[in-house]
Amino acid sequence: MSITIVTDSFSRTYPRTVTSSEGSIVLRLMGAEDAGAVLAFAQALPAHDLLFLPRDITQPKVMSAWVRAIERGDIDSVLAVRDEAVLGCAAVIRDPHSWSSHVAELRVLAAPELRGSGLGHKLAREACALAIERGAEKLVARMTVDQRGAIAVFQALGFKPEALLGKHVKDRQGLTHDLVVLSQDVARFEAQMRAYGMGEALGG
Ligand SMILES: CC(C)(COP(=O)(O)OP(=O)(O)OC[C@H]1O[C@@H](n2cnc3c(N)ncnc32)[C@H](O)[C@@H]1OP(=O)(O)O)[C@@H](O)C(=O)NCCC(=O)NCCS
């Protein structure tokens, strides 16, 4: 089944095939039926890759809560899949009832064997585009300061460091890590894109 999200500015169609230096990959929306495959993907990741997430998505009950949040419409999640194996995912998290209902948090994960292939960029762009379609006015992404790939991906999309939270995350060994929050103002971003004649920069 192909689902098209249509807004005044542009539309996104799922499933959709994109190419990275590692070949073609299908992007499609995540649903309840994907919980097992996403859990397997998460459980295969190095623990450090998951430090930016406040909840441990390697736990089945956390995955169930993720699926319920998708069904409620609080999270939009896109999977990168090939031959039914999950190779990456992007999520747009909003809290429509909070004082930050205009803010969307973007989360991106790529399989270690595909790092550097451009998949992370594609997923981050997809998350930005979905968040903007959902009406977000401000986008944020957080990661530990040593996640150089994540910082590179979001800075390439114009995100700037907005906050550094010292010793904010504690890993399973009890070691603390600093967290950086990058952000992007949607109106400024769209104005920049128009100025550069790149109104469809997030398309495709
Ligand atoms: C963030 C993540 C999705 C990026 O995936 P990816 O497929 O490697 O991303 P891309 O190949 O599109 O781009 C990676 C960029 O980071 C750069 N990069 C990767 N590792 C790097 C490092 N250790 N130091 C500096 N730059 C690095 C690459 O050079 C590339 O930049 P370029 O396009 O200018 O060459 C992936 O690293 C990941 O899953 N990390 C763990 C989870 C995480 O931190 N998520 C972000 C929180 S929102």
Burial profile 170-193: b = 16 or more Cβ within 10 angstroms, e = fewer: eeeeeeebebbbbbbebeebeeee
pLDDT of 84: 87
CA of 125 to the centre of ligand 1 (A): 13
pLDDT of 11: 62
pLDDT of 199: 63
* Probe target for ligand 1 pocket from 78, 143, 153, 169, with the most ligand atoms within 8 Å of CB: 153
In order of their start, the domains of the chain are 3-195 (3.40.630.30)
pLDDT of 10: 43
The token pair that represents 101 in the structure block: 């209902």
Q: Where does ligand 1 bind, in terms of residues with CB under 6 Å?
A: 49, 52, 107-110, 114-121, 141, 143, 147-150, 152-153
Q: Consecutive 10-residue runs of the chain (204 residues): their mean pLDDT?
A: 42 86 92 96 96 94 96 95 95 95 97 94 94 95 97 95 97 96 93 74 60
- Cα dihedral angle (97, 100, 102, 105), rounded to 10 degrees? -100
